[in-house]
Structure 1
Amino acid sequence: MGLRFYEKYFVLFGAFIGGCFLFSGVLVYFGSDRINTAPELQNRIVNPKVRNVHDSQSIKQMEDKFGFASNLNVSMKENERRRSFTRNMMKFAWSNYVRYAWGENELRPIAKIGHSGSVFGRAPVGATIIDALDTLYIMGMNKEFDQARDWVAQNFNLKESLSDLSVFETNIRFVGGLLSAYALTKDQMFLNKARDVADLLMPSFNASPFGIPMSLINLRTGRTGNYGWASGGCSILSEFGSLELEFNYLSRLTGNLTYMSKCARVREYVIELQKPDGLYPNYLNPQTGKWCQKHVSVGALGDSFYEYLLKIWIFNGKRDDHLKEAYRNAIKAIEEKLLHKSTQNNLWYFAEMKSSRIEHKMDHLACFIAGMFALQSLQENDEATRVNTLKLAEQIGHTCHESYRKTVTGIGPEAFRFSSDAEAQATRISEAYYILRPEAVEGWFYLWRATGDEKYREWCWEAAQAIERHCRVEAGYSGIRNVNAQQIEHDDVQQSFFLAETLKYLFLIFSDSTEIPLDQWVFNTEAHPFPIAHSAQQVQ
């Protein structure tokens, strides 16, 4: 893919300073995976591929020693400043959560109380704490990480929840967050807690003769059910299709194959099930094993199913050709049926299908697919396939950027539409809100890793500044009700995924590519990284 921006400058200076490095002992990144680590983290890091890159001393030392100041250094200095800016955003979000809502699921940063209306209900089960663990660790916020770790060890107990919990959300945030914390630290407590949560979710698979998990579970009683609004009580594609990465990793770590086999059964069933035009509808009846209404999207209700087809294949070392073929077939179908180009400025986007009607709307959630295609391109051996896949990723990433650029705030709406009158814009007030979602910056993060194009860093920087300007309130960050309003109205919720995903992806795009490298780690749909198995024998 050619040299990245910063690597080109190292080539130019390499001849001049190469000999000096041999005697000075200065360690400089030159395409290897070795970078400077903050001193306070050196005793904590277990996996040598996980590094923190916020120590800027190496640049200062290089300038003092060799007397040059290149565009490379300017760029690196600027990205260090942006990392620091993003890290300070995390500090502000976290410290206010600790001050006003410690142990609660989320923070209401205007009311300065815990948020009892989250997807996890009123029980104080610390969703923000567990969702933020790996972000705190990656950013080198050691004191805060230890504080979070102690709370998990001493207080975390999901059985305290009296509400029916989302199996999907509990899995991606709690099981995923705990497993990622284990992967980064090898602290057995995190693995034990993750296994405890997964065990509580297991009854969700038992109500269907086909093993299709239900959407809701009461962890005290084991009672399961589905949402009434979900096509009359059907299971949701993006939910039952987004359990396998976490459960697969748990089986790898514990040796208990039950977790893996439960999810593999679901995946194989839906892959083999006859599909309309090759498309996966968003709803499946868990009792009959048949598709419900023909509603197809890569946004809400469908998104992470496609993401996990690709990521499970990568996570298991790219050895399952059947899974790879299933992913390709799924992508071929959505490209043929849902991919469209706007008439005004030729913006590519994925529409939705309801029955046989196309709705020219794209969710902010669907912006993840730019990242998915960028990640796919990194796995392709065929040059033509790689180029075409990356081109589509960049086109979708551009469309998502347009949805940000065209708003008053510079922040993208929950959904945007395409017509003769509007292009990548929220035309309905009910779709103009922003709840601190990560999918646009997630896509640009992957595009940066795949291309090295600096514009993706700039787009993320624009987004970070817009969020800081419009979403920061006295005690944290809040979603906003209308991204096109001159007068900002906040929703008073600091979502846990803002700390888990949005700030993590922003921090990582301003970091070196060796920070959580994509050939060694795969992110779950909540941005929790798990290590890839590069051999059949590898278990952790």
Structure 2
Amino acid sequence: MGRFLLVVVLPLLLILLAFANSRASAFPRAKKLQMRDKVRKMFYHAYDNYMAYAFPHDELKPLTKNFTDSLSELGNLNLEYLPQNYNGSALSLIESLSSLLVLGNFTEFERGVMWLSENLTFDVDARVNLFECNIRVLGGLISAHILASENKNWFSNSSYNDRLLHLAQDLGQRFLPAFETPTGLPYAWINLKHGVMENETTETSTSGCGSLILEMGALSRLTGDSRFEGAALRALRKLWNMRSSLDLLGTTLNVLTGEWIEYSSGIGAGVDSFYEYLLKAHILFGSDEYWDMFHSAYLAVQKYFRHGPWYHEADMRSGKATYWQLTSLQAFWPGLQTLVGDVAAANLSHREFFYVWKKYGVLPERYLLEHATLHPTEKYYPLRPELAESTYYLYQATKDPWYLEVGESIVTSLNSHTKVDGGFASVRDVSTMQLEDHQHSFFLSETCKYLYLLYDDSFLAGRNFVFTTEGHPLPVRSLWHERLPEAYITSNGTSFKTNRRSPLSSQVCPETIRGAKVESACHVPDLRVNHRCTSDAECGIDSSSCRKRTCSIAGYCGLWRFIH
């Protein structure tokens, strides 16, 4: 019997390999190396101009070759309470450290680490956005510290002394007063020197409360100080307890009362990284509590926000659609779907985002789905990375060379429309390609990084990382997957689960609206994240077709019975 199976399967494998090789030949290795070098030049054009004209200030103004101390301005739409004597925190350098390692530049990485170790301080009278400072500064420092401490041979005199971790711990301690609220939900703003300001706004976003766990959790694991992870997890649990009966959350809320302010929500601005961090926290820390929250939230998104390959916004209380619009931040979603194994649905959504990119040359901040046109005011493109990020994940999952072609199109557009003598400029209006004098730090930490990894992922060889929402790599460590002591984080909420319930036990059959099947309610993940199986019962349901996946003779879940 074994020999018979070998005779049958081997020709099939040869056919599949021949098909894969023919697809791969559409984008030969020489061209991949050429594209890698183009992205490398992009990064250094942005980085070198920052170092020449803006460092040690926060971000570069590429049109005027000047600087902006923008850490106090991020999220501050009205530019209120700006500090008088704040001279920057070298934000773009912090954001660039892990990208320098991805590109293999150990010398510049060491130089940056040494400068920060000797010069950076957070004892400054500056009001900053907790979410932005967490993902950009704290995340950048923690990631760079881990990479530096694991590879001290990169340093010419082996002199790294954990200074970045000390800086991260100091910053984390300055965050803690923001969590001192009746609900445990943090204020959106914190003064690094004086704590929460008098008469501070009590409004924050779902992302602002629910996207802190990776960085603050990692900080606790590295320092042994449970306060950081405890504060972030309490806020996350409180936020999850505020969900509606449909497992949906709103966009903005009051941190003192725990009441929702904006009930309309989606997968874009104000909410996006909440979903991202539920899944990534499960991967990084191993707790099924995060998986259970993510699984319920993901199914709710697919059920109430999805319309074919597009995602609209809906009221968290009723699930009824509110705004039919694509936002550029939504483009992270196909990457998240790829991580959870919902690759078919990810591919469909990704193609729609790329369609809009091709239509305008870049991805506008908002695109009105009902009218297939630009939003009247939000026509800008600030060098966002989300489409490149999802392209990278989908290529890693499928090895389909079409995604390499998508990356090439993105690189060509960025060089054609946003590259200037002093760096890369944001686009103020995608209909005219009028530029804005701002090079955001995430262009260095994310956009260039994901495009580079698309063509050269050698940095990841033999290692497992979770990328934060700002593109900072955190290693997946088995030590961090150990069950925490009961006293580690006090909680009256959901406890850690010891027995994992199969997602197949959830009933997520498609509902009907006026007799039409709703595809968005179909997705059920496979039992195992690597999609291995021993029987059909361990396979989930495909969201794009609503068909049950089956277990192949090779032990993988897929739509094998529907392949023609």
Quick check: TM above 0.5?
Answer: yes
Conservation of the 8 A alpha-carbon contact between 2:221 and 2:480: no
Give 1:344's aligned residue.
Answer: none
1:128 to 85, 92, 95: 92
How far, CA to CA, are the matches of 2:199 and 2:205 in structure 1? 9
Q: What amino acid is the match of 1:133?
A: L
2:444 is the alignment partner of 1:499: yes
1:191 to 139, 143, 165: 165
How far, CA to CA, are the matches of 2:283 and 2:260 in structure 1? 28
How far, CA to CA, are the matches of 2:392 and 2:449 in structure 1? 10
How far, CA to CA, are the matches of 1:336 and 1:72 in structure 2? 39
Give CA deviations for 1:164-207 in whole Å, capped at 9, x if unaligned. Answer: 1001111101110011111222141221211111111111101x
- Output aligned runs, 1:110-125, within 5 Å: 110-117=63-70, 119=73, 122-125=86-89
How far, CA to CA, are the matches of 1:211 and 1:352 in structure 2? 27
How far, CA to CA, are the matches of 1:296 and 1:92 in structure 2? 38
Give 1:308's aligned residue.
Answer: 277
2:185 to 204, 207, 212: 212
Distance 1:473 1:274, change over 3 A: closer
2:288 to 317, 321, 328: 321
Distance 1:178 1:473, change over 3 A: same
How far, CA to CA, are the matches of 2:69 and 2:474 in structure 1? 30
- Output aligned runs, 1:380-391, within 5 Å: 389-391=342-344
Conservation of the 8 A alpha-carbon contact between 1:132 and 1:499: yes
Distance 1:376 1:520, change over 3 A: same
Give 1:58's aligned residue.
Answer: none
Give CA deviations for 1:335-367 in whole Å, capped at 9, x if unaligned. Answer: 1111113xxxxxx11111257552101210011
Give 2:177's aligned residue.
Answer: 203
Tell me the secondary structure at the aligned position of residue 382 of structure 2. coil
1:400 to 353, 360, 367: 353
Q: What amino acid is the match of 1:489?
A: Q
Gap regions ≥5 residues in structure 1: 13-69, 342-347, 378-388
Distance 1:143 1:163, change over 3 A: same
2:408 is the alignment partner of 1:444: no
Give 2:134's aligned residue.
Answer: 171
How far, CA to CA, are the matches of 2:325 and 2:200 in structure 1? 24
Give 1:416's aligned residue.
Answer: 367
Conservation of the 8 A alpha-carbon contact between 1:167 and 1:215: yes
Same amino acid, percent of matched pairs: 30
In the TM superposition, what is the alpha-carbon distance from 1:72 to its structure 2 partner? 5.7
- Output aligned runs, 1:11-50, within 5 Å: none
2:211 is the alignment partner of 1:242: yes
Give 1:482's aligned residue.
Answer: 429
Give 2:78's aligned residue.
Answer: none
Conservation of the 8 A alpha-carbon contact between 1:164 and 1:216: yes
Q: What amino acid is the match of 2:67?
A: G
Conservation of the 8 A alpha-carbon contact between 2:97 and 2:140: yes
Tell me the secondary structure at the aligned position of residue 107 of structure 1. strand
Tell me the secondary structure at the aligned position of residue 358 of structure 1. coil
* TM-score, normalisation: structure 2: 0.74
Give CA deviations for 1:457-479 in whole Å, capped at 9, x if unaligned. Answer: 11111111110111011110001
Give 2:411's aligned residue.
Answer: 464
Conservation of the 8 A alpha-carbon contact between 1:4 and 1:452: no
In the TM superposition, what is the alpha-carbon distance from 1:394 to its structure 2 partner? 0.9
2:312 to 321, 334, 351: 351
Distance 1:448 1:153, change over 3 A: same
Give 1:508's aligned residue.
Answer: 453
Distance 1:236 1:446, change over 3 A: same
Give CA deviations for 1:98-127 in whole Å, capped at 9, x if unaligned. Answer: 111110100101111112455366531111
How far, CA to CA, are the matches of 1:184 and 1:156 in structure 2? 19
Q: Which moved more, 1:354-363 or 1:97-106?
A: 354-363
In the TM superposition, what is the alpha-carbon distance from 1:274 to its structure 2 partner? 4.6
Tell me the secondary structure at the aligned position of residue 158 of structure 1. coil
2:402 to 455, 466, 470: 455
Tell me the secondary structure at the aligned position of residue 490 of structure 1. strand
Distance 1:84 1:8, change over 3 A: farther
How far, CA to CA, are the matches of 1:11 and 1:400 in structure 2? 25
2:249 is the alignment partner of 1:280: yes
Tell me the secondary structure at the aligned position of residue 168 of structure 1. helix
How far, CA to CA, are the matches of 1:72 and 1:357 in structure 2? 44
Distance 1:333 1:225, change over 3 A: farther
1:99 to 29, 44, 52: 52
2:244 is the alignment partner of 1:297: no
Tell me the secondary structure at the aligned position of residue 450 of structure 2. helix
Q: What amino acid is the match of 2:446?
A: E
Q: What amino acid is the match of 2:193?
A: R
- Output aligned runs, 1:520-535, within 5 Å: 520-535=464-479
Distance 1:227 1:450, change over 3 A: farther
Q: Which moved more, 1:285-294 or 1:445-454?
A: 285-294
Q: What amino acid is the match of 2:374?
A: A
In the TM superposition, what is the alpha-carbon distance from 1:438 to its structure 2 partner? 0.3
Distance 1:518 1:324, change over 3 A: farther
